[in-house]
Structure 1
Amino acid sequence: MLCEEAGDTAEPLPSAVEQLVRTDLPFMEARDGWIARFEDVYVRAILQQTSGNVTRAAELAKVSRRFLQRTMARLGLRDTEPGSAG
């Protein structure tokens, strides 16, 4: 449900919202930063869960191995799967 008044919200914001979302930036810039940070944290976490096995991490993430490898390259992470060309 949309709020009719600017200050009216369904749930209170977390007390540390400033640490989560850059409200000092324009919306699109803040969103892009949020997405970049999410991708970095998500990829690192899923690789940690799979002990660096990229194939298994891709399966858990429900993405192709190639997509995950490209995302890792964009993030500056190395393919740590044994036997990979790096």
Structure 2
Amino acid sequence: MAEVLNETEVKKMAAEVPDWQVEGKELKQVMKFKDFVTAMAFVNKLIEPAEAAGHHPDLEISYNKVTISLTSHDAGGLTEKDFAMAKQIDGLK
């Protein structure tokens, strides 16, 4: 199991993913797309990297807006896995 990061480590790693916000024990980003079809196409791109990493984001979809939340549920907070997944997601844009 991955180890929960302390506050200093979270701040350092958060600087590496500036489009994401730390909210308590989660790393979040809200992405807006031109329409529902484009938003869903992006969500479908998340499947392979999430499966490969064994680390699945929580998703909220509202027409052209996708809210992505990352946390390591088994560890009880943010771990390096969350920040690594955030970087992978950023690469899909």
TM-score for the superposition, normalised by structure 1: 0.28
Name which one, 1 or 2, has greater alpha-carbon Rg: 1
Greater RCO, CA 8 A, separation 6+: 2
Structure number having the greater helix percentage? 1
Structure having the larger proportion of residues in strand: 2
